[in-house]
Amino acid sequence: MKKFNIPHFYRSSFIAEIKNSRKSEDPKKNDFSPTLLDFGSVRFYLARHFGFCYGVENAIEIAYKTVEEHPDKRIFLLSEMIHNPGVNQDLEKLGVKFLMDTSGNQQINWDELNADDIVIIPAFGTTLEIEQILNAKGINPYQYNTTCPFVEKVWNRAAELGEQNVTVIIHGKHFHEETRATFSHSVRDSHSVIVLNLEEAEYLSSVILGEKSADDFYKYFEKKYSANFNVEDDLRRIGVVNQTTMLASETQQIADLLKDTMIKKFGTENLNEHFADTNDTLCYATNDNQEATYGLLKAKADLAIIVGGYNSSNTGHIVELCEEKLPSYFISSEEKILSKDMIIHYDLKLKKEIESRNFLRDNIPLNILLTSGASCPDALVESVLKKILSFYKDVRDIDEVVKEAAS
């Protein structure tokens, strides 16, 4: 796989050593068990896969290269480069300005742009409508395009479905940049509907089976379906694609449910005429990180710490998996660990940061699961590990522990 030139301060020498060792031992990714880092009084179980994925490193490399090569140009990002506050703040410090927030709200008016400006498309991609706006301004939206190739793969699959007169069911968050982009590309070639989760897929199933009316559909999925959508005609042939950062297992559950629905409606013998197999749209990195989380959770531990941006979809899903098993703390950096007795962490249900006391138990050794999302630099994970180690006396030397783990 291609190696990217990203700033060294996002890297961690000892995490890279562990990752390279695991990759060398298990190139086909058959082993999702974590790596144990035993420091004596505290032990970390490091997930088999975590941190920057291909699409993220590609986006960061293009962004930094663009800034370096055009010091006299005004450079804009459509929205956040990736869902990591530190990376976005680093780009802002270099003079990069953000045209929109992550919800698509305009921060800088289009009228302020001119043909000499550079606009970078983030890893999530963008809508056809925004591409048209930039083209009208004389700005080439494809010249500095960091759209993840796995996102583009979903778009291409949706286009193929459209050519076959198949309606595209998008598993995603309708407000997320990637889903907005995928929906925009999808509706160019086919009718489309966005479903958030299994519950919404079950509602769609009841519409297909005639248990809910067309009016029920239009009300329930308001602003989540393509223009001129006809319930009678446009739900006879369907296929499922996904926002690449969603839970792969949930995408599969949704696809299985809708497949069974089409069997009930049209019969097994006619399934191929009404349901398209789209398993090939799942992102390898999201899948690897989620499988690694399942492997991580097999270790007997006292708590889990997950590092990443609070608006990162893939990180949030990792947190959800961990919360089902043990006390879990979602933090954006080591700065959220105030002391051995106090941590500030993000609560997914409350959608805000909260404080927790005595999160580091007194038992020795303390066992901690440690991982991060696909948009989190390894350097942040290293900083979290070192911050926790600083609370303990007589811990083993990091180089010694890493050498032992990587041998």
The set of residues, in sequence order, having a beta carbon less than 8 Å from that of 18 and lying 6+ positions away, is 35, 46, 402, 405, 406
Model pLDDT, residue 169: 97
Q: What class has domain 54-136?
A: alpha beta
Confidence of residue 271 (pLDDT cuts 50, 70, 90): very high
Confidence of residue 206 (pLDDT cuts 50, 70, 90): very high
Q: Which fold has domain 8-53+285-406?
A: Cobalt-precorrin-4 Transmethylase; domain 1 (3.40.1010)
The set of residues, in sequence order, having a beta carbon less than 8 Å from that of 188 and lying 6+ positions away, is 128, 159, 162
User: Architecture of domain 158-282 in CATH?
Assistant: 3-Layer(aba) Sandwich (3.40)
Residue from 178, 200, 334, 382 carrying the catalytic annotation: 178
Model pLDDT, residue 80: 85
Distance, in Å, from the CA atom of 286 to the CA atom of 244, rounded to the nearest integer, reads: 7
pLDDT digits (tens, 9 = 90+) for 133-152: 999 999 999 999 999 999 99
Catalytic residue flag (residue 131): no
Distance, in Å, from the CA atom of 219 to the CA atom of 141, rounded to the nearest integer, reads: 35
For residues 252 and 337, which has the higher predicted lDDT (pLDDT)? 337
Minimum mean pLDDT range among 143-157, 168-182, 279-293, 380-394: 279-293
pLDDT digits (tens, 9 = 90+) for 286-313: 889 999 999 999 999 999 999 999 999 8
In the chain, domain spans: 8-53+285-406, 54-136, 158-282
Q: What percent of the chain is predicted at pLDDT more than 90?
A: 86
pLDDT at 1 exceeding the cut of 70: no
Distance, in Å, from the CA atom of 253 to the CA atom of 230, rounded to the nearest integer, reads: 25
Model pLDDT, residue 245: 83
Fold match, 8-53+285-406 / 158-282: yes
pLDDT digits (tens, 9 = 90+) for 62-95: 999 999 999 999 999 998 888 888 999 999 999 9
